[in-house]
Amino acid sequence: MCSVIAAVVLATHPLPPSAIADLTCSEVNEVMSILRSMQSLLRLQEDPDQPVYPFHKLLSDLLTSPTRGVDERFYISPGKFHSEITLNCLKLMNETLGDHLQFMGSIALKYACTSWHTHLSESREDVTTLIPTLHHFLEDKIGAWLEVLAGLREDPVFALKKAMSWLHEVCLGLFWGHLLVFTSFQKQVAEDEKLPKTIEEHLLIAQTNLTVRMGLRKVLRSRLLV
């Protein structure tokens, strides 16, 4: 339920229930049922392909503020749900980009291509779960994404700069934290036959962070030189 509400209050622009269903891996009927339960607060039409709007921006402020005393069932943690929306956008692009027939008319995919970086820049929880999916996007789908943005006349440089900024702020902080953990276990590692599982995980995340950052820098540089 919260994932659907989050897609309404955190989206960069209003989305129809059909696109929210695609982004949240839900059925359209399920999304419509959830939105109807909040119909007094939303401008919701019967057509699931028409955008749904909050009646007032205060709804977003109310549901995303931990100090407003909102029922915890409806509280939308921005850091958590921006991360969830980012992950869903990346997964949708990874699964669909390259199939132009599938792209035609897909509001959810168009939204993912033009807004994933905005949600990424606000992601503050469960960020390590984003890294493999983001890495896959950069390795295998970046070319198709650039083609889509060219067709939409959108500039990819801004998106890449946002992603670079997020990686610097969030992921490099994780890297140094993981490095400190590794150092604290250095004597134990030297005596053991293999690294403890937690240290292996820390090193894998750190390596992935650096790989993603280098990939973004390379793409950004190539776009600026064109």
Most confident of 53-57, 114-118, 161-165, 187-191: 114-118
pLDDT for 66: 63
Reported residue count of the chain is 226
Provide the b/e sequence for 30-45 (b: ≥16 CB within 10 Å).
Answer: ebbebbeebeebbebe
In the chain, what percentage of residues exceed pLDDT 70? 65
Is a pLDDT exceeding 50 seen at residue 189?
Answer: no
Q: Which residue reads 């850091």 in tokens?
A: 79
**pLDDT per residue over 83-111, tens digit each?**
999 999 999 999 998 765 555 568 999 99
Joined together, the tokens standing for residue 157 give: 């440089």
Q: Which uninterrupted H or E stretch holds 131? A: helix 130-136
Contact at 8 Å (CB) between 178 and 198? Answer: no
Contact at 8 Å (CB) between 92 and 139? Answer: no
Is a pLDDT exceeding 80 seen at residue 199?
Answer: no
Q: What does pTM read for this prediction?
A: 0.76
Is a pLDDT exceeding 80 seen at residue 26?
Answer: yes
Q: Which residue reads 């280098």 in tokens?
A: 214
pLDDT for 165: 80
- Over residues 174-199, mean pLDDT: 50
- Rounded (5°) CA angle 98-102-108: 100
More confident residue, 214 or 88: 88
Domain boundary assignment for the chain: 2-76, 80-225
- Over residues 167-185, mean pLDDT: 57
Integer-rounded Cα radius of gyration of the chain: 20
**pLDDT per residue over 43-62, tens digit each?**
888 899 999 988 777 666 66
Contact at 8 Å (CB) between 83 and 127? Answer: yes
Cβ contacts of 107 within 8 Å, gap of 6 or more: 15, 16, 18, 19, 22, 49
More confident residue, 163 or 51: 51
- Over residues 171-177, mean pLDDT: 57
pLDDT for 167: 76
Joined together, the tokens standing for residue 153 give: 């006349």
Is a pLDDT exceeding 90 seen at residue 206?
Answer: no
Q: How confident is the model at residue 2 (pLDDT cuts 50, 70, 90)?
A: confident
Strand partners, 53: 43
CA distances (Å), 133 to each of 69, 95, 140, 181, in order? Answer: 35, 11, 11, 24
